[in-house]
Structure 1
């Protein structure tokens, strides 16, 4: 039996190797950059995140790997050896889609000025962005230019600031309207799903989104993005105030399962957060204060982290002094509880009463404090 199993594994080995053989490459040529320059890439493939790095030699670098479909990437170029963190957040960085292709990225000086060749998917994404009015990053850049075009006096004027903000919000709404129109006009395009997923947002207008989602091809619905959007549409109904909070079980930091059901009889704030989320960390001192005020009266917090690095998660818990129950499956945005609740941005929260019903969502700061004061008066 053992010999048979070894023979079978030997026969299957070439097939396993073939299945994971690289089916894409991203080759860069950015001027004549050299040591200590580094290139970094993070990409999401059907719900699974990947990352890689490469030294830049005479301007050249290359990434390759295996993807199941269309991937979304962030590529950063560290020109001076300051590390990935600075390159990603303050340096030369671009975002793009690519497929099972041999892609060339070339420029005389930077990624931000790079030309893409060899990618049909990239070209389709560019056409999509042109049709909807540009990416969010492009619109953000445009509003900054709009604001900075004013005089120093205007930039301090509330009327001027409000006018700039209104133009920006109108551009955002126009973009969203065009995304819905794109999804309706191109139900077989991958970017119809991208458009609908983004335009739907966290608070899904089911009457508007559901028919467009139903019209998408089966292949698109079967992708991780399609399944996540389906969950978000469903969550919009089941997580409404007045409904029973969806039950779940997830492991705490030491691997022990914790269930929401075990908190029945107490008022529970199901809090979605992450160590890397600035607004979440800014709200934590208030949560600490509210927890200390009401924990002896039947208030609990069950924090669900959207982290994917355990050490960072635990470090944030300790640093912020969060002395309540914490769980995570360390799958980042693919956290199963987050998807169950339709969470697309953090912080997000659902206040659950002693009977397990949702009595508030999105509460933080003073609105949360006021609600808790009413409950425990």
Structure 2
């Protein structure tokens, strides 16, 4: 029996409405803050980003929405009307997980000192952090306190700074080791996936990570985070030197599809970057110089941006005078090409020869210049 599109649409309306019915709330009470105080939230739901904001009235605020599962959030509180940017980067900020729950967040003075109630997911997240030695933010705060504990003379001393950095790196490594242990000992926990995803890093030790991933509950493996980790594991093999570069097509700045396959016959640098990435922007003058030197000899650059705001992407291209191919789907860290190549940090690059094989990973600065000189001179 055939069903008309109109009838089918009508039949789907109740299901669509139900799917969008709010299934979480985050209700806050922070002292007695009022105008111009604002609360801002950014959260990920299965790979899709969402954001919202609300004014505080007598210290109270509330966010509601729909999530398909556990979600990672950043919440920032602007106490004095400085705007979201200031609140996020220099203000009162917390990071946490929540689920399909009615969560209450309370504090006398700030988000940083807030107490969560009504969230089983947050309780599990808190227990996970205690098991691995704290969040990255907590360790960063600790190292800043470690440095600030020194005298002005010590803070200028390279040996003192080196020791502070060494202690920080040791704490980070200890945390990573504990994440692997957590993933192994708690495969039924969602935070085993969180631990494994973070601990695996960009250069995945497949022999170590794959068995732990396979032991996770299937429902976690099929989340967006699970799929991304699976892609990263796969990318470790398919992006190795000597392998054919994974082919892709993505739109350029005017919406025209550009494919890597169309560049066969040229030496191509597949460069992953973003307008907000300081090290990327610092490397751009060198790329400009190398491109001018070798573009007429068969060298091409295709830059894949992990931006999610087109205006910022275009502004950076123009300001840095990047006169080569640029593509992006403006999905940020969920850029499909970035995920295909297992990119978890920028800058990242893959040098591809005229036959389409990868001949270099992570080359930039002098190592890249030397390799290009060998190829073209």
What's the TM-score once normalised by structure 1's chain length?
0.97
TM-aligned CA deviation for residue 6 of structure 1: 4.1
TM-aligned CA deviation for residue 207 of structure 1: 0.8
- Uncovered stretches (5+) of structure 1, i.e. residues with no partner: none
Name 2:120's counterpart in structure 1: 120
Q: Per the alignment, in what secondary structure is the counterpart of residue 152 of structure 2?
A: coil
1:360 aligns with 2:348: no
How far, CA to CA, are the matches of 2:4 and 2:227 in structure 1?
40
Name 2:332's counterpart in structure 1: 332
TM-aligned CA deviation for residue 10 of structure 1: 3.6
Shift in alpha-carbon separation, 1:4–1:249, aligned structure 2, 3 A: closer
Structure 1 range deviating more: 30-39 or 120-129: 30-39
- Show CA shifts across 1:88-143 (max 9, x none): 11111110000000011111111111111111101100000000000111111111
TM-aligned CA deviation for residue 12 of structure 1: 3.4
Name 1:268's counterpart in structure 2: 268
Name 1:195's counterpart in structure 2: 195
**1:68-147 alignment to 2 at 5 Å?**
68-147=68-147
TM-aligned CA deviation for residue 353 of structure 1: 1.0
Shift in alpha-carbon separation, 1:240–1:59, aligned structure 2, 3 A: same
How far, CA to CA, are the matches of 2:26 and 2:138 in structure 1?
23
TM-aligned CA deviation for residue 7 of structure 1: 4.8
| Poorly superposed stretches of 4+, deviation over 6 Å | none
TM-aligned CA deviation for residue 152 of structure 1: 1.8
How far, CA to CA, are the matches of 1:5 and 1:173 in structure 2?
57
Structure 1 range deviating more: 12-21 or 119-128: 12-21
How far, CA to CA, are the matches of 1:34 and 1:366 in structure 2?
54
Name 1:31's counterpart in structure 2: 31
1:208 aligns with 2:231: no
Name 1:321's counterpart in structure 2: 321
Name 1:243's counterpart in structure 2: 243
TM-aligned CA deviation for residue 298 of structure 1: 1.1
- Show CA shifts across 1:334-357 (max 9, x none): 111101000001111001111111
Cα RMSD (Å): 1.6
Shift in alpha-carbon separation, 1:222–1:374, aligned structure 2, 3 A: same
How far, CA to CA, are the matches of 2:331 and 2:162 in structure 1?
39
How far, CA to CA, are the matches of 2:55 and 2:331 in structure 1?
28
TM-aligned CA deviation for residue 15 of structure 1: 2.4
Q: Per the alignment, in what secondary structure is the counterpart of residue 188 of structure 2?
A: coil
What's the TM-score once normalised by structure 2's chain length?
0.97
- Show CA shifts across 1:38-66 (max 9, x none): 11100011101000111111111111000
- Show CA shifts across 1:20-78 (max 9, x none): 10000011111111111111100011101000111111111111000000000000111
TM-aligned CA deviation for residue 160 of structure 1: 1.8
Q: Per the alignment, in what secondary structure is the counterpart of residue 271 of structure 1?
A: strand
Count of equivalent residues: 377
How far, CA to CA, are the matches of 1:10 and 1:172 in structure 2?
54
